[in-house]
């Protein structure tokens, strides 16, 4: 049993990590602001119901208050996003003074650890600063490299911006953009699996001062791989035949889109698109890297092909609504 503080437990992924950590027998405390305790009351009540202790506070709390909270725990798991990513340096400073933290997992969820700061500076610059602060403070750490969230990547067959949708049918005129050749492998994971592996790494000395890559062998697929899987499922289960209409986007065109993108969100999405579907993220692991499915073979993750079965059910509902 490990005493762990989770920052960002009212968010989508943080909530799952907190509940999974409780299942594994850890003593979990969630740092939750007064505003979130009001605005997200149902989520907070759900955390309390499974045994998570709620501590009022946030990354904007006074330094002394953060130190006092951290003195009561051994592990910190941060799952903040947006401006909260840069503010994690406050948590690092408090952890250094508290002197009790045996493992700090900053909010790295995504592809940063596989590609580095230069790939998407708008998003990854703050994460790099938090890493530097942790290492300079000498705090034991684990960087979780979760790669793509299935609900963002698989739902669009590798195209971002398709969360909570399903891929198009071969019977429609919708074209699926394929970046580069469409054959570059990208890694995607179901969010529940990312949470489960993260919770299992809590207190695991094998992950200390390592990058924990959530890179199960069945979850590295190209856009072509995903398209073939989807076409097969659509044909076999719904008798909708033929192939999806592919629209290939050369790397030069994608670079032009990135250069002309104005708002930070659009630019970041396009840069991530390039990282995943043109450059690829399946390089060999190094001496400071460990892979989650190898460390925890007792946990049965969801292959992306199986995840796409769930999309078929959603697709059926959409078809019925259109009739």
* Residue-level pLDDT at 321: 65
Domains of the chain plus CATH, in order, are 3-146+190-214 (3.40.50.720), 149-188+218-282+300-322 (3.90.25.10)
Please report which helix (H) or strand (E) contains residue 176, including its range. Answer: strand 175-179
Tell me: the pLDDT tens digits for 73-88? 999 999 998 888 999 9
List the one residue out of 278, 40, 2, 276 whose CA is nearest residue 14.
40
Tell me: the pLDDT tens digits for 112-170? 777 777 677 777 888 999 999 999 999 999 999 999 999 988 888 888 877 767 787 66
d(CA 32, CA 85): 16
**Residue 16 in this model has a pLDDT that exceeds 80:** yes
* Residue-level pLDDT at 167: 80
Q: Which two tokens stand for residue 33?
A: 């602001």
Global pTM value: 0.93
Average pLDDT value over all residues in the chain: 90
Burial of 45 (0-12, 13-18, 19+ CB in 10 A): exposed
Question: With the C-alpha atoms ordered 16, 22, 27, 32, is the resulting torsion angle positive or negative?
Answer: positive
Tell me: the pLDDT tens digits for 261-305? 887 778 778 878 888 888 888 888 999 999 999 999 999 999 999
3-state DSSP call for residue 211?
A: strand
Residues annotated as part of the active site: 127
The residue ranking higher by pLDDT, 174 or 129, is 129
d(CA 130, CA 108): 10
Q: Which band of pLDDT confidence, cut at 50, 70 and 90, is reported for residue 197?
A: very high
* Residue-level pLDDT at 239: 74
Across 188-212, average pLDDT: 98
**Residue 254 in this model has a pLDDT that exceeds 70:** yes
* Residue-level pLDDT at 171: 62
Contact 314, 166 (CB under 8 A): yes
d(CA 253, CA 255): 5
């Amino acid at each position: 049993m490990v005493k762990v503080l989770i920052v960002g437990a009212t968010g989508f992924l943080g909530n799952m990590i907190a509940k999974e950590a409780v299942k594994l027998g850890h003593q979990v405390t969630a740092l939750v602001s007064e505003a979130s305790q009001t605005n997200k009351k149902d989520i907070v009540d759900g955390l309390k119901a499974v045994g998570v202790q709620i501590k009022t506070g946030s990354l904007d709390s006074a330094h002394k208050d953060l130190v006092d909270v951290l003195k009561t725990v051994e592990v910190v798991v941060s799952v903040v996003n947006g401006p909260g990513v840069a503010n994690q340096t406050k948590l690092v400073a408090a952890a250094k003074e508290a002197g009790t933290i045996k493992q700090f997992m900053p909010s790295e969820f995504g592809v940063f650890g596989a590609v580095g700061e230069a790939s998407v500076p708008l998003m990854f610059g703050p994460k790099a600063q938090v890493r530097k602060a942790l290492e300079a403070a000498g705090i034991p750490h684990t960087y979780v490299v979760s790669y793509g969230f299935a609900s963002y990547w698989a739902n669009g067959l590798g195209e971002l911006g398709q969360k909570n949708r399903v891929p198009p049918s071969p019977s429609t005129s919708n074209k699926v953009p394929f970046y580069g050749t469409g054959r570059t492998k990208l890694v995607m994971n179901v969010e529940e699996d990312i949470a489960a592996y993260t919770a299992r790494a809590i207190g695991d000395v094998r992950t200390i001062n390592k990058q924990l890559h959530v890179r199960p062998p069945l979850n590295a697929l190209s856009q072509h791989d995903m398209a073939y899987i989807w076409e097969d499922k659509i044909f076999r289960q719904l008798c909708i035949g033929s192939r999806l209409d592919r629209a290939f986007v050369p790397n030069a065109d994608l670079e032009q889109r990135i250069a002309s993108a104005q708002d930070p969100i659009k630019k970041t999405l396009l840069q991530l698109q390039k990282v995943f579907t043109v450059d690829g993220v399946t390089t060999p692991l190094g001496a400071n890297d460990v892979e989650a499915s190898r460390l925890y073979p007792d946990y049965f993750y969801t292959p992306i092909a199986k995840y796409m079965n769930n999309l078929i059910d959603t697709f059926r509902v959409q078809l019925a609504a259109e009739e």
